């Protein structure tokens, strides 16, 4: 019988932490992030209500029907009730996922923006490396045999290819605010994952596949990128940052990088 | 009248080996599985405590770490690779050797034949082999701790390329990973043997009058679980064979071209890492239903027994069990939303995943409906069954977030996932086992467990597990990735360490309290009050035979069943329960 | 509390159809039925394993352009014929046994079993021939799958052969009583399944490999 108040107290404590948001998402920095948070809230409200009602009902049943000598009701069920709550659940569950489909389609099934700035990401044990195509807009040829991390050539850029001469290689991601980005992701050893909390986006990076991820960041700032797929003993240290800059600063940065080559 | 020789009857076993080691008696085999699981859970929990300790004390020097693992914990400091291999073994041992053994191989083996009125399983020798094969699999798995390089560090999911490259990919990826695959392959074989037995037994050995709709729900869950295991483990075995070939025969099932590892360009090409994920999760999703369904069956059984009320909606419960089983094979892609697979597939898997929430919800409503209007007796067994319902609600609801690819864009590979599956598997399923233990212990050992100790254990454990695993959802919302050895490399993670500290301390406390259970279990075996034939006034067939039962269960007789399994508080009946074998007209007296 | 029922009533005929109903008191009957169910379950598992291999096969073949069709050793045709013949002979043997013709059964079952062993030997020769041609497990994805599928199939043949040999030995020692009838049927049915599986694999190799 003690179980009833324990269940209720646990329910209240849990609800408190989800309402007070003591530990919560960081603020979103994109429109996708805003849409994401709305869908999360919808789901939280629905599941939260079900959570409270179910736990309270359980506790109530425990209290109200504990043995005090009353006879139990002999009943094999109630088909009407069964039908009602089954249908309601089905509508609710399938409904919420259909509502969220818009967000999924926007990220992965929409026509790519032709003006998206292409940036290549090459992940390896245990670092992210980024490459910009430079003023010619073309990525230079790479060859695995030419890879030399120590010498600053993680991509294996072939310096005999003129298109690669202006490529900019960076250990962190720099993007201009308010512009669509196309992140072209590769891995050269095991599966890694690119994740930026503030973007509300992540994507596994699979060796043997070239996976594009489109996004647009609207708020200035520097955001951490933690690798989010187990990649070996250095997984917990595999870190980079995404710095969102004003467009003018981004162009300035690119020029500085080009000058330093 | 008894038939002369039935192919599956055996005479009372003689001799120590035949009676206790290579027994063909499903009851002994059930106990053997149970103790194998008990041994494995001690290892699994110990590993998790080491993990939790390390997460909040990453630089701590612990003397005996250095003694146990001279290379991987030089100077007593746990290296990240050691952390990851402990984590891999924790998951593997818990999922396979605890959650896939005790609920099905333990209780199922012991009670399925009895609950259907049979003398034993359909194939007793196969049954014995299935246990010993499981035992061999466990030995091979444990051996991975002792080989050079230690156990693998690729997680219980063993994704290639990390798991397929071999020693180049890191410590533990040599012989340790190979032994892991071999152990799992052996386990697949053992599971298959068990599935053959369960299915044939349930279909063909039911006693007279035991029609399908009179089966206790425990039998239904064991049956569907066996089907899931049959189809799922076969696929896992196939996947394991392909992985071993990639590792040792130079094939490229899972390895693409263009891999540069430890400064070496590998000469594999053409394979797909996603192929492994598809094969693995095709098994892996049914596997989690294998882990939870028997606990659901036990919960149904206990809620009805201890509320003195029939199951609310028995037929719906049976359909729900089958729906969960069937749909369980169609949702594997929800483990792969972020994997790079087709976004269209993701949408399809997502809808199916939400659909599988419906029969789960039906079961939850029906459990509450079962105790509603009842006369509830709070035995320890009942407390665990009620706890199961509460935990299943909590754990199941976090699945609503994860089943949406739109939300999984953030939550994949965070602690939100870890919290979700631990509450469902690592707690609810375990509560099902505790419930089964307290309920059936009197029958198995002829003695009662101590109720006071049981209740203390229950309450502290119940609060403890909520304290350990619910905060994980908050960590997930804050974006804390999983499988990180420590949290010192990211600014945002540093702020979350207080939660980790809280969870670690809750884990210590909850683990310590389990000692009460172990004491209760072993002490009661010798010193518990002698148990009557039917201490719970329950209706199913196991309560019609002595505690503990004779070697052939029904003493050579053939029970005849006249009633359903949940006839409690029937108006007009002489007592508040009608046993399944009571005469047909007992309530019209 | 004592259960009040029932145990001693003579069993009434089974009260429902479908899944085997009330389980006969004639242990032999229910044991045969159980063995058949067990066999079906085993075949379901084998089917799933080969379905998994097939899907891996199809995926891999469609994925990259490095698949080189494997030149199938011609002996595979002979092996296929031998395997089909062994199945046919086992069936003839079974029919003979039903008519009580024990020596006919012994003859046909033994030849069928020997042919089964011959199939396995033929498979080994096929492997040897591929080796001679420089085609090994990792040579090409098509060869990887060929070795994988024939080895997995071969293991099942070995299991089936063990059962066939067991029945044969019992028969030749005149120990094949009516109680062992189920063993005969289960082994034969398993063998037919493995035969059918081989034909499926041949089609897979010919059309896709």
How far away is chain C from the Cα of B296, in angstroms, using its nearest Cα? Answer: 24
B272's enclosing H/E stretch is none
Q: What interface predicted TM-score (ipTM) does this complex get?
A: 0.96
How far away is chain A from the Cα of B117, in angstroms, using its nearest Cα? Answer: 24
Position with higher pLDDT, B8 vs B356: B356
Look at residue C17 in the predicted model and tell me its pLDDT. Answer: 29
Q: DSSP H helical segments within C66-208, as ranges?
A: 75-98, 102-132, 141-172, 181-208
Q: Indicate whether B482 belongs to any domain.
A: no
Look at residue B13 in the predicted model and tell me its pLDDT. Answer: 74
What DSSP string describes B83-114? HHHHHHHHHHIIIIIITTTIIIIIIIHHHHHH
Average pLDDT over residues A40-69: 96
Q: Quick one: pLDDT band at residue B587, thresholds 50, 70, 90?
A: low
Q: How many residues does chain B have?
A: 589
B-chain residue closest to A24, CA distance: B478
Interface touch B486/A236, C-beta < 8 Å: yes
Q: Indicate whether B35 belongs to any domain.
A: no
The span from the CA of B28 to the CA of B18, in Å, is: 10
Look at residue B431 in the predicted model and tell me its pLDDT. Answer: 98
Contacts A–B by Cβ distance under 8 A: 323
pLDDT value at B2 more than 50: no
Q: Indicate whether B158 belongs to any domain.
A: no
Interface touch C30/B204, C-beta < 8 Å: yes
**CB hemisphere CA count around C150 (13 angstroms):** 27
Look at residue B112 in the predicted model and tell me its pLDDT. Answer: 98
Q: Which domains does chain A have, with CATH numbers?
A: 3-65+78-108 (no CATH), 117-260 (2.60.40.420)
Per the structure, the count of domains in chain B is 1
On whether any CB of chain B is under 8 Å from the CB of A200, the answer is yes
Q: Indicate whether B560 belongs to any domain.
A: yes
Q: Could you read off the pLDDT of B514-529 as tens digits, one per residue?
A: 999 999 999 999 999 9
How far away is chain B from the Cα of C104, in angstroms, using its nearest Cα? Answer: 27
- Pull the structure tokens for residue C131: 């080796």
Average pLDDT over residues A213-226: 97
Q: Could you read off the pLDDT of B246-284 as tens digits, one per residue?
A: 999 999 999 999 999 999 999 999 999 999 999 999 999
Q: For B560, list phi and psi in degrees, rounded to 5.
A: -120, 130
Q: Which residues of B touch C56 (CB under 8 A)?
A: 238, 242, 253, 275, 279
Average pLDDT over residues B122-142: 97
Q: Could you read off the pLDDT of A180-191 as tens digits, one per residue?
A: 999 999 999 999
On whether any CB of chain B is under 8 Å from the CB of A25, the answer is yes
Q: Could you read off the pLDDT of A91-127 as tens digits, one per residue?
A: 999 999 999 999 999 999 999 999 999 999 999 999 9
Residue range of the domain that includes B584: 531-589
Q: Could you read off the pLDDT of B422-464 as tens digits, one per residue?
A: 999 989 999 999 999 999 999 999 999 999 999 999 999 999 9
What DSSP string describes C138-175? TT-HHHHHHHHHHHHHHHHHHHHHHHHHHHHHHHHTT-
Question: B 324-383 residues with CB below 8 A of C?
Answer: none
Look at residue C29 in the predicted model and tell me its pLDDT. Answer: 54
Q: Indicate whether B486 belongs to any domain.
A: no
On whether any CB of chain B is under 8 Å from the CB of A82, the answer is yes
Q: How many residues does chain A have?
A: 261
Look at residue C27 in the predicted model and tell me its pLDDT. Answer: 37
The span from the CA of A44 to the CA of B398, in Å, is: 9
The span from the CA of B13 to the CA of B348, in Å, is: 54
pLDDT value at C109 more than 70: yes
pLDDT value at B213 more than 60: yes
How far away is chain C from the Cα of B589, in angstroms, using its nearest Cα? Answer: 14
Question: Closest to B361 (Cβ–Cβ): which among A89, A98, A230?
Answer: A89
Q: Indicate whether B545 belongs to any domain.
A: yes
Nearest to C37 by CA among B567, B223, B404: B223
Nearest to C161 by CA among C90, C58, C103: C90
Residue B149 vs residues B86, B240, B289, B491: alpha-carbon distances, Å? 13, 21, 33, 32
* Cα angle B472-B475-B480, degrees, rounded to a multiple of 5: 120
On whether any CB of chain B is under 8 Å from the CB of C69, the answer is no
pLDDT value at A20 more than 70: yes
Nearest to B212 by CA among B222, B221, B203: B203
Q: Which domains does chain C have, with CATH numbers?
A: 72-208 (1.20.120.80)
Look at residue B169 in the predicted model and tell me its pLDDT. Answer: 86
On whether any CB of chain A is under 8 Å from the CB of B149, the answer is no
Cβ atoms of residues A11 and B391 within 8 Å: no
Cβ atoms of residues B231 and B199 within 8 Å: no
On whether any CB of chain B is under 8 Å from the CB of C29, the answer is no
On whether any CB of chain B is under 8 Å from the CB of A61, the answer is yes
Residue B32 vs residues B8, B128, B322, C167: alpha-carbon distances, Å? 20, 10, 29, 33
How far away is chain C from the Cα of B563, in angstroms, using its nearest Cα? Answer: 11
Q: Quick one: pLDDT band at residue B348, thresholds 50, 70, 90?
A: very high
Q: Could you read off the pLDDT of B471-504 as tens digits, one per residue?
A: 999 999 999 999 999 999 999 999 999 999 999 9
Position with higher pLDDT, C156 vs B556: C156
In angstroms and rounded to an integer, the radius of gyration of the C-alpha atoms of chain B is 24
Cβ atoms of residues A244 and A236 within 8 Å: no
Interface touch B270/C182, C-beta < 8 Å: no
The span from the CA of A105 to the CA of B537, in Å, is: 57
How crowded is residue A234: how many other Cβ atoms within 10 Å of its Cβ? 17
The span from the CA of C177 to the CA of C205, in Å, is: 42
Lowest mean pLDDT among A241-255, B11-25, B343-357, C40-54: B11-25
Q: DSSP H helical segments within B377-429, as ranges?
A: 380-402, 405-411, 415-421
The span from the CA of B116 to the CA of B137, in Å, is: 30
Interface touch A230/B350, C-beta < 8 Å: no
DSSP state for residue B214 in the 8-state scheme: G
Q: Indicate whether B323 belongs to any domain.
A: no
pLDDT value at C9 more than 50: no
Question: B 307-336 residues with CB below 8 A of A?
Answer: 307-314, 316
Q: For A203, list phi and psi in degrees, rounded to 5.
A: -155, 130
The span from the CA of C176 to the CA of A88, in Å, is: 61
């Amino acid at each position: 019988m003690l179980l009833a108040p324990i269940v209720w107290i646990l329910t209240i404590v849990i609800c408190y932490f989800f309402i007070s948001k003591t530990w919560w998402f960081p603020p979103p920095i994109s429109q996708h992030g805003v849409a994401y948070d709305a869908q999360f809230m919808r789901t939280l409200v629905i599941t939260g209500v079900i959570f409270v009602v179910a736990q309270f009902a359980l506790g109530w049943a425990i209290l109200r029907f504990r043995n005090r000598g009353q006879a139990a009701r002999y009943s094999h069920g109630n088909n009407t009730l069964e039908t009602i709550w089954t249908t309601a659940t089905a509508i609710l569950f399938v409904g919420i996922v259909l509502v969220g489909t818009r967000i999924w389609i926007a990220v992965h099934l929409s026509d790519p923006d032709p003006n998206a700035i292409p940036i290549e990401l090459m992940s390896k044990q245990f670092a992210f490396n980024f490459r910009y195509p430079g003023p010619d807009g073309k990525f230079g040829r790479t060859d695995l045999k030419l890879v030399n991390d120590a010498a600053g050539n993680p991509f294996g850029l072939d310096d005999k290819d003129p298109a690669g001469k202006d490529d900019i290689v960076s250990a962190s991601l720099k993007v201009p605010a308010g512009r669509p980005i196309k992140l072209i992701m590769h891995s050269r050893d095991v599966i890694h994952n690119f994740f930026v909390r503030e973007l509300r986006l992540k994507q596994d990076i699979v060796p043997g596949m070239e996976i594009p991820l489109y996004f647009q960041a609207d708020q200035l700032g520097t955001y951490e990128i933690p690798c989010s797929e187990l990649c070996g003993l250095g997984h917990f240290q595999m870190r980079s940052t995404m710095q969102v800059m004003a467009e003018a600063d981004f162009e300035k940065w690119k020029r500085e990088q080009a000058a330093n080559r | 009248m008894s038939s002369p020789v039935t192919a599956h009857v055996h005479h009372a076993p003689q001799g120590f080996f035949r009676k206790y080691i290579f027994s063909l008696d499903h009851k002994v085999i059930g106990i053997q599985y149970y103790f194998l699981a008990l041994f494995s859970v001690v290892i699994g929990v110990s590993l998790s405590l080491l993990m939790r300790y390390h997460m909040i004390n990453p630089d701590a020097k612990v003397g005996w770490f250095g003694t146990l693992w001279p290379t991987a914990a030089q100077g007593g400091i746990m290296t990240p690779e050691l952390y990851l291999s402990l984590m891999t073994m924790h998951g593997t041992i818990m999922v396979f050797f605890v959650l896939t053994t005790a609920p099905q191989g333990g209780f199922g083996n012991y009670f399925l034949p009895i609950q259907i009125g049979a003398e034993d399983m359909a194939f007793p020798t196969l049954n014995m082999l299935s246990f010993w094969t499981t035992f061999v699999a466990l030995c091979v798995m444990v051996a991975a701790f002792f080989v050079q390089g230690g156990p693998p560090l690729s997680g219980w999911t063993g994704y290639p390329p990390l798991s397929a490259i071999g020693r180049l990919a890191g410590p533990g990826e040599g012989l340790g990973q190979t032994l892991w695959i071999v152990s799992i392959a052996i386990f697949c074989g053992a599971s298959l043997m068990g599935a053959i037995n369960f299915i044939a037994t349930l279909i063909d050995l039911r006693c007279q009058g035991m029609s399908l709709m009179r089966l206790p729900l425990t039998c239904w869950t064991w049956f569907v679980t066996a089907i899931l295991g049959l189809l799922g483990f076969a696929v896992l075995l196939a996947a394991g064979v392909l992985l071993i070939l990639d590792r040792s025969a130079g094939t490229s099932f899972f390895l693409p071209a263009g891999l540069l590892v430890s400064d070496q360009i590998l000469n594999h090409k053409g394979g797909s890492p996603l192929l492994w994920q598809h094969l693995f999760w095709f098994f892996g999703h049914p596997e989690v239903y294998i882990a939870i369904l028997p606990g659901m069956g036990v919960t149904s059984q206990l809620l009805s027994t201890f509320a003195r009320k029939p199951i609310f909606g028995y037929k719906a419960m049976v359909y729900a069990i089958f729906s969960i089983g069937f749909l369980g094979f169609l949702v594997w892609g929800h483990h792969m939303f972020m994997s790079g697979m087709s976004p269209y597939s993701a949408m399809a898997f997502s809808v199916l995943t939400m659909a599988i929430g419906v029969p789960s919800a039906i079961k939850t409503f029906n459990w509450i409906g079962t105790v509603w209007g009842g006369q509830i007796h709070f035995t320890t067994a009942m407390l665990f069954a009620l706890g199961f319902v509460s935990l299943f609600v909590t754990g199941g609801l976090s699945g609503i977030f994860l089943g949406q690819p739109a939300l999984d864009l953030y939550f994949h590979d965070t602690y939100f996932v870890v919290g979700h599956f631990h509450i469902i598997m690592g707690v609810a399923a375990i509560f099902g086992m505790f419930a089964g233990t307290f309920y059936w212990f009197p029958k198995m050992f002829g003695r009662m467990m101590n109720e006071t100790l049981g209740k203390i254990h229950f309450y502290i454990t119940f609060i403890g597990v909520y304290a350990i695993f619910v905060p994980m959802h908050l960590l997930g919302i804050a974006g804390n990735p999983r499988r990180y050895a420590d949290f010192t490399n990211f600014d945002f993670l540093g702020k979350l360490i207080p939660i980790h500290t809280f969870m670690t301390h809750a884990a210590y406390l909850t683990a310590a309290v389990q000692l009460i259970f172990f004491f209760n279990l072993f002490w009661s075996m010798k010193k518990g009050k002698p148990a009557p034939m039917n201490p719970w006034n329950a209706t199913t067939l196991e309560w019609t035979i002595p505690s503990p039962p004779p070697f052939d269960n029904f003493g050579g007789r053939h029970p005849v069943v006249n009633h359903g399994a949940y006839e409690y508080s029937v108006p007009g009946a002489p007592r508040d329960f009608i046993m399944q074998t009571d005469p047909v007209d007992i309530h019209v007296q | 509390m004592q259960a009040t029922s029932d145990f001693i009533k003579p069993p009434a005929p089974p009260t429902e159809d479908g899944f085997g109903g009330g389980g006969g008191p004639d242990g032999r009957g229910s044991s045969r039925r159980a063995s058949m169910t067990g066999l079906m379950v085993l075949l379901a598992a084998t089917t799933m394993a080969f379905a998994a291999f097939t899907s891996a096969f199809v995926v891999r073949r469609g994925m990259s352009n490095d698949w080189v069709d494997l030149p199938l050793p011609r002996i595979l045709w002979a092996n296929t014929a031998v395997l089909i013949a062994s199945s046919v002979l086992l069936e003839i043997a079974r029919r003979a046994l039903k008519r009580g013709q024990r020596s006919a059964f012994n003859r046909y079952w033994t030849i069928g079993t020997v042919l089964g062993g011959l199939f396995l030997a033929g498979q080994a020769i096929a492997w040897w021939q591929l080796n001679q041609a420089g085609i090994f497990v990792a040579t090409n994805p098509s060869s990887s799958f060929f070795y994988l599928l024939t080895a997995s199939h071969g293991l099942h043949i070995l299991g089936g052969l063990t059962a066939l040999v067991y029945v044969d030995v019992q028969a030749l020692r005149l120990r094949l009583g009516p109680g062992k009838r189920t063993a005969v049927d289960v082994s034969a049915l398993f063998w037919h399944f493995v035969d059918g599986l081989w034909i499926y694999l041949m089609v897979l190799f010919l059309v896709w490999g």
